Amino acid sequence: MKPSLIFDLDGTLVDSLPGIAASLNRSLTSHGLLGHSDAAVRSFIGDGLQTLIRRAAPAGATPELLESLIRYFKADYGVSWANGTKAYPGMHALLEELRADGYQLAVLSNKTHDFTVAMTHAVFPNIPFAMVLGQQEGILHKPEPVGALQIANDFGVAPENCVIIGDSTMDLETATNAGMKAIAVSWGYHDRERLWDAGAEIIIDSPTELLDKVRDDNTLLA
């Protein structure tokens, strides 16, 4: 039996920081606010759009301002994201190898569902993910386990036979909450030290290393 693999999207499969930062800064400047460096935006990512906007906005921003920024960002990012989004090097080859080996693959993101589906299919058009799931209104997002457990249920596998692969402490927490195993990647938006501090047991540094770990580590199965 092979573990089912649930990938985070931003910072794990794709480098979307340039596109997110550009849209975020256009949203801010359109409201007369200062933008942020890519390094700062990197630290804002991972907890969904509302949290991204709240972190980027000035302290004490009103609910009306935050909502206006969210609306602007959604409209801007919806037409511009492709200009600042690309697969990490080696990711296409990794996913093709995993599919050829018979692994079930899914994507679980805190990015809104429509963006998650559009981005996944555009960047990986030849990878038949069995399920792609983003944030949907009324459904708790990561680190709540709802989405991860939905994927396990749809795959017909026990949670303990699923592995969440992600770049953030949010992904590690989601795996714990869902009763799943976790593999952290070092090339994303949370630094290695932050991942270790959050309890990461496995951190890998390249798609090739990830492929070897999934193939060879029997502890990934319950």
Provide mean pLDDT across the span 21-38: 97
Residues 80, 190 within the same domain:
no
**CATH label of the domain that carries residue 30:** 1.10.150.240
Residues 70, 172 within the same domain:
no
Q: Is the pLDDT of residue 14 over 90?
A: yes
Q: Is the pLDDT of residue 35 over 90?
A: yes
Residues 26, 112 within the same domain:
no
Residues 31, 11 within the same domain:
no
Distance of CA 128 to the CA centre of its chain: 18
Alpha helices in the chain (DSSP H): 17-30, 38-44, 49-56, 63-80, 91-100, 113-123, 146-155, 169-178, 192-197, 207-216
> Cβ(150)–Cβ(201) under 8 Å?
no
Among all chains, which residue has been given the structure tokens 């930062």?
Answer: 21
Residues 45, 129 within the same domain:
no
> What pLDDT score was predicted for residue 217?
81
> Cβ(80)–Cβ(18) under 8 Å?
no
Percent residues over pLDDT 70 in the chain: 100
- CA–CA gap between residue 220 and residue 222 (Å, rounded): 7
Domain count across the chain: 2
Domain with 30, as residue range(s), is 17-84
Of 143, 114, 108, which Cα lies nearest the Cα of 129?
108
Provide mean pLDDT across the span 208-213: 94
Determine the straight-line distance between the first and last CA of the chain, rounded to whole angstroms. 10
Q: Is the pLDDT of residue 67 over 90?
A: yes
